[in-house]
Amino acid sequence: MKNKIFRSVEFWKSSLMTMPDKSFFELIRSVLGKIKTPFKKQQLINDLEKFLLRKDIQKTMAVYIDQNDAKVISATALFGEPAPGELESFFSGEFSYAQLQDIIVNLEERFILYRFAEKDIVRLALNPLLKQILAPFTEDTSSLFPPVRIDGLVPSAPKAVLDDRILAALLSFVSQEELFFRSEGVIRKHVVSKGKARFDKMDLHFTIGGLQTLGLFYAEENKLLPDMKKFEEFGSLSARERGEYFASALITYGEIKLSEQLIHPLFRGRVREIVNFIHGFLDSLDAKQSYHKKTLTKLAEILKARAGIVIDGNLTDALEKTGLLVSISSDIKQLGLTVRNTAEKRDDPVIAVDSGFSVIVYPEISYADAIKLAAFMNVLSADAVVSFELTKESAVRAFNNNISADEIIELLKRLSGDRIDDSLIWNLKDWEKRYSEVSLKSGVILSLSEDRRYLTKTMPLSELIIETIAPGIYLLKKDAMDSAEKALSSAGIDIISRRKEKAAPVASTKKLNRSFPPPNGDFQNKLKITEMSDVPSSDNAVLSEDQAQERSALTGNFRAILKKMPFSELEREELAARIDRQLVLCEAQLKEASIRYEKLAARNMDYAGKQNIAKQAIAQQSSVEIVWHGEERIFGIPKALEKKKGDYVLVIAPAGGQDELSIPLGKISLLRRIKKSIFEI
């Protein structure tokens, strides 16, 4: 549903009509001065409307808006008529309850905000008469989600727990383990130990579980097997979209908390829902900027509420673990996060091959090439540096999957810029030759070259042969594949062919991707926080230093006028307080003021004043601001005023749920009562 920003002028007027008479007339007098009788409330509201529409008045109101005002105005527009509690939650950690209440009440007194009740819920709204001066703050959310300005620092290299290279490393690792799970679905200890050595910062159980929610791996008895068709479809996504699926999988698996063998396909619908949300969330960020972690958390909460989605997992942590958000410092809380650059891959060499047949894989490698490497290499390490090695066993695994030595050599040459050692080529060719000499074929068929046929006379292989189909071609007993391999190994054969059916090529982008559809565009549109087209366009709402100086000059001018006017000390104090609260908009409001003095603050030696303010706050359960011990500032609600050892002690419950404090009045340098809403609903 589209967020509401400005209701009609008539709706605003009707909200004023519902105000208690005492508050209503006090508010009108503060603007229009003394009220002449007879009068009608409707006519007074019409007079107020004319006053607020004056160009000079709106100009003054615009000058008065400061940074805190701008944040509350922007948040009110962003949430769309929020309840006060929603703003309290959003600004938690930035403003205390009392501080926020003070800002909101002040904006109500300045006619920027008003309240109304709808279905027993009190809501805040923006005054439609001021649409022109408020529009910049409703259109610009930069004050709510400010980027971090860090000169001279750049994002550190991504240390992702799960990205394309890590996925390829996991594929290689899983392919090396014949038995992955114990019978109860828990990863075997020796597998975990090997995984720790290669994936130092990874929780192997958790990551494998997440990849099973994507369907990239599946459990079959005690084995963990890759679904290469799913791997192919996954490659048709962009690098960023794959990262979004990775992050969603980790969050989803964290939510369901099931063991690896209990992953159900229905959870993939949840994965896609979170993927759509993540895509919209990242779209709302500027990839050229950096953000505090708390800023990103606030933005995520806003977007989740707008999208109507509940996500239990830690979103920013998942995005860091998949490299979509990158720390610009080891101290994330201080310096923040930036969006990872997922630009197109370059044509330079993306691997480095040494004479020991090990390969370092650079981040620029394409998904398809990384997956191809995993098919014929064993992972050595996968942390800050991802490296593989070519071994006889890994080469046999590739031959079994119909990958020839020539294909391996061609790929390595292309990825390394033709920088591979001749000894690597010689070994690959030799392994392939020996591979072709002795092979096991499904059915079960044993094939022996002429110089290896003597093996049929050895035990226990001879007992497995049922029939000689042709010279060198033998039919073995049913389910004899593993037994025959052991018999051949016992006879001294170290390379044995077990060729599988040729797999489909990886990462074709021409086929319809049914398993991993790209994020839904319609869903993203619902998340755009700048979608507020019912307000007029205006310049960016930047609160400049010039504006602050103009605001200071304006209030200074009003104080100079007040100083020349014949008011009593109490009247002068009340009008000065109105100037400080930015309620005075023109000189006439000073000259024709209707003054009802209300003491809100007492300082230092004004002991009686502090007593009275404390008693009023306790009776009304109003928040107070206390300054004591020099500059220590406390906001909270006073509970009692107790006399102890000849001095009064104010008992206060500080905002934020802290323990109650007992503070002697004599030590308080400032006690200020924070007014409640003038709408009193």
136 and 170 housed in the same domain: no
Q: Write the CATH number for 81.
A: 1.10.10
334 and 364 housed in the same domain: no
List alpha helices for 417-492, DSSP H: 422-437, 461-464, 481-490
CA–CA distance, 384 with 159 (Å, rounded to integer): 6
636 and 668 housed in the same domain: yes
- Tell me, what's the pLDDT at 265? 56
User: What is the domain extent for residue 640?
Assistant: 601-673
Q: Write the CATH number for 634.
A: 2.30.30.100
136 and 187 housed in the same domain: no
- Asked if residue 248 belongs to a domain, the reply is yes
20 and 73 housed in the same domain: yes
Give the three-state DSSP class for 361. strand
- Asked if residue 666 belongs to a domain, the reply is yes
Mean pLDDT by 10 residues, the chain (681 residues): 75 90 82 78 92 94 92 90 87 81 91 91 94 89 72 57 93 94 87 92 90 92 93 94 94 72 65 92 81 83 82 87 78 49 64 90 94 96 91 95 94 94 94 90 84 90 89 88 90 85 52 72 42 37 69 89 83 83 86 69 85 87 81 82 86 79 87 76 54
End of a domain among 556, 574, 590? 556
546 and 638 housed in the same domain: no
- Tell me, what's the pLDDT at 537? 36
Strand 337-339 versus strand 325-327 pairing type: antiparallel
CA–CA distance, 679 with 681 (Å, rounded to integer): 6
Beta carbons of 183 and 258 less than 8 angstroms apart:
no
Strand 223-226 versus strand 661-664 pairing type: unpaired
- Tell me, what's the pLDDT at 260? 46
- Tell me, what's the pLDDT at 549? 86
- Tell me, what's the pLDDT at 679? 74
Radius of gyration of the chain (CA): 36
What is the helix, strand, coil percentage profile of the chain, to 5?
45, 15, 35
- Asked if residue 623 belongs to a domain, the reply is yes
- Asked if residue 310 belongs to a domain, the reply is yes
List residues bridging with 446 in a β-sheet: 440, 474
301 and 410 housed in the same domain: no
186 and 323 housed in the same domain: yes
399 and 461 housed in the same domain: yes
- Asked if residue 473 belongs to a domain, the reply is yes
128 and 64 housed in the same domain: yes
Number of domains into which the chain is organized: 4
Residue type, 126: L
- Tell me, what's the pLDDT at 528? 42
24 and 124 housed in the same domain: yes
- Asked if residue 253 belongs to a domain, the reply is yes
CA–CA distance, 484 with 486 (Å, rounded to integer): 5
Beta carbons of 622 and 653 less than 8 angstroms apart:
no
124 and 201 housed in the same domain: no
CA–CA distance, 77 with 553 (Å, rounded to integer): 29
- Tell me, what's the pLDDT at 536? 37
- Asked if residue 3 belongs to a domain, the reply is no
DSSP 571-583: HHHHHHHHHHTT-
Beta carbons of 351 and 374 less than 8 angstroms apart:
no
- Asked if residue 399 belongs to a domain, the reply is yes
b vs e for 60-69, b when ≥16 Cβ sit within 10 Å of the residue's Cβ? Answer: bbbbbbeebb
